Amino acid sequence: MSHGRISSLGEKKLVSWIIKRARASFPDSELHGLGDDAALLDIGDEYLVLTSDLLLETRHFPDPSRPYEMGWKTVTANMSDLAAMGSKPEAFMLSMALPDLEEDFFSSLIDGVMDACTHYRAPLIGGDTNESDEIILSGMAAGRVRKDRVLLKSGARTGDLVAVTGPLGLGAAGTELILSGEKPAKNHEAAVESSLKPLAPVEDALRIAESGLASSATDISDGLVSELGEIMDSSRVGFRIFKEKIPVPREVFEIASIINRDPMELALYYGEDFELVITAGPDEMKELSGITGLHVIGEVTDSGIEMIDKDGRTYTLDVRGYEHLKGGVQ
């Protein structure tokens, strides 16, 4: 590393540097999952799947006056990583650094955590507490997946199709609407809910993994194009995306107009969607579409990421998305 600031690197380059250090420090160990959405520990016929996510009051919660949703989102962020690996959730741990909160506020936060753990069937089994000037919530989730069913970022092949498990841009639109101070219209409440109380597609992920039909997968927490870039690097492929096939709800366009934002920017780069993007061969994707709801948005190519609009015009998409340490979408 140079003698500059880590902000000049950003989160992804920093993580890559750490991974290289880890591999160099343990050259004789099989370090599974480094660079994927979660770590993998060999436990025989299965992998123990481990992940952690750190959320800060001032960075990750657009409305910190809603503690229940803060607790819920902390669990969901971790469950999304397990889903991306095709893993069945088994347990959750929570470490907290807290200011001197009102007891009712803290109780509501824990209610959110417990309800989310119940929803994902992952019991809270431990954690830690400390003091801080702001709320800092660090989750750790554990799950299990058969070795022959694990979903990885590597494995995509030229000629595969690419699909997402749900609509894109809702979480981003809801977050930006909250931050704008505009009062949400009744028909925009789903976007706000998607931002504050997201859902990880764990059941969809388990069906996809159990089928053995997907060639690669990751979650879309940092933006579609950024995550396609991750698969591109791991699989040494590219992507051709068709703009008209990207499932962007009407509400995203309406909210984007209100807050003066580009709706496709919200859908492609912002993140906060907690859906999955997967690849599979054409026949396999057809079979998968009968197993769970999917939106096919494009195909796997040799290199780069390009988008084609309804008039046949082609645009090269820069690989960027939400990135910590650089202050947002880069």
16 labelled binding-site residue? no
- Residue owning tokens 């990880």: 200
Q: Residue 291 in contact with residue 211, Cβ under 8 Å?
A: yes
Look up residue 260 and give its DSSP letter.
Answer: T
Look up residue 190 and give its DSSP letter.
Answer: H
73 labelled binding-site residue? no
36 labelled binding-site residue? no
81 labelled binding-site residue? yes
Q: Which two tokens stand for residue 329?
A: 């979408």
- Residue owning tokens 């050259």: 27
323 labelled binding-site residue? no
233 labelled binding-site residue? no
Q: Which two tokens stand for residue 287?
A: 């079979």
Q: What is the C-alpha to C-alpha distance for residues 240 and 219, in angstroms, rounded to an integer?
A: 19
301 labelled binding-site residue? no
325 three-class SS:
coil
31 three-class SS:
coil
20 labelled binding-site residue? no
210 labelled binding-site residue? no
Query: How far is C-alpha 211 from the geometric centre of its chain's CA atoms?
Result: 22
115 labelled binding-site residue? no
153 labelled binding-site residue? yes
Quickly count: other Cβ atoms within 10 Å of residue 99's Cβ.
Answer: 11
269 labelled binding-site residue? no
Four-point Cα dihedral 237, 172, 123, 68, nearest 10: 170
128 labelled binding-site residue? yes
User: Among 36, 25, 30, 127, which Cα is nearest to 74's?
Assistant: 127
Q: What is the C-alpha to C-alpha distance for residues 323 and 239, in angstroms, rounded to an integer?
A: 21
295 labelled binding-site residue? no
Residue stretches of the annotated binding site: 37, 51-53, 60, 81, 127-128, 153, 219, 221-222, 272, 322
Residue stretches of the annotated binding site for ATP: 127-128, 153, 221
Residue stretches of the annotated binding site for Mg(2+): 37, 51-53, 81, 128, 219, 222
Residue stretches of the annotated binding site for substrate: 60, 272, 322
